[in-house]
Amino acid sequence: METILGIDIGGSGIKGAMVDIAKGELATERIRIPTPEGARPADVAETVGQLVSRFQYQGLVGAGFPAVVLHGVVKTAANIHASWIGQNVDRLLSKASACTVLTGNDADVAGLAEMTFGAGRDQKGVVLVVTLGTGIGSAIFVDGKLVPNTELGHIQIRGKDAEQRASDAVRQAKNLTWEKYARRLQEYLDAIESLIWPDLIIIGGGISKQSYEFLPFVNTKAKIIPAQLLNQAGIVGAALYATT
**pLDDT, average across residues 2-16:** 94
**Helix, coil or strand: residue 16:** strand
Give a yes or no: residue 152 inside a domain.
yes
How far, in Å, CA of 223 to CA of 238, rounded?
26
Percent of the chain at pLDDT above 90? Answer: 93
Q: What is residue 78's predicted lDDT score, i.e. its pLDDT?
A: 82
Q: What is residue 56's predicted lDDT score, i.e. its pLDDT?
A: 94
Confidence band of 209 (pLDDT split at 50, 70, 90): very high
Mean pLDDT over each residue of the chain, to the nearest integer: 96
Residues 239 and 216 in one domain: no
pLDDT digits (tens, 9 = 90+) for 28-38: 999 999 999 99
Give the pairing of strands 100-105 and 73-74.
unpaired
Q: What is residue 199's predicted lDDT score, i.e. its pLDDT?
A: 98
How far, in Å, CA of 13 to CA of 188, rounded?
26
Q: What is residue 113's predicted lDDT score, i.e. its pLDDT?
A: 97
In 3D space, the residue among 52, 24, 118, 41 whose CA is nearest the CA of residue 80 turns out to be: 41
Segment (H or E) for 193: helix 178-196
Give a yes or no: residue 115 inside a domain.
no
Whether the pLDDT of residue 242 is over 80: the answer is yes
Dihedral angle computed from the Cα positions of residues 105, 112, 228 and 19, in that order, rounded to the nearest 10 degrees: -90
Give a yes or no: residue 113 inside a domain.
no
Confidence band of 230 (pLDDT split at 50, 70, 90): confident
Whether the pLDDT of residue 206 is over 90: the answer is no
Residues 12 and 103 in one domain: yes
Q: What is residue 22's predicted lDDT score, i.e. its pLDDT?
A: 95
Whether the pLDDT of residue 134 is over 90: the answer is no
pLDDT digits (tens, 9 = 90+) for 144-200: 999 999 999 999 999 999 999 999 999 999 999 999 999 999 999 999 999 999 999
Whether the pLDDT of residue 231 is over 90: the answer is no
Whether the pLDDT of residue 1 is over 80: the answer is no
Q: 73: domain range?
A: 3-108+233-243
CATH number of the domain enclosing 200: 3.30.420.40
Give a yes or no: residue 220 inside a domain.
yes
Residues 100 and 129 in one domain: no
Neighbouring C-alpha atoms within 13 Å toward the C-beta of 123: 27
* 3-state per-residue secondary structure call for 22-69: CCCEECCCCEEEECCCCCCHHHHHHHHHHHHHHCCCCCEEEEEECCCE
Whether the pLDDT of residue 6 is over 90: the answer is yes
**Lowest-pLDDT range of 39-43, 83-87, 206-210:** 206-210
How far, in Å, CA of 221 to CA of 233, rounded?
25
The domain tally of the chain equals 2
Phi, psi of 72 (to 5 degrees): 85, -5
Name the pTM for this structure.
Answer: 0.93
Residues 96 and 170 in one domain: no
**pLDDT, average across residues 49-70:** 96
Give a yes or no: residue 178 inside a domain.
yes
How far, in Å, CA of 199 to CA of 169, rounded?
27
Residues 15 and 82 in one domain: yes
Give a yes or no: residue 116 inside a domain.
no
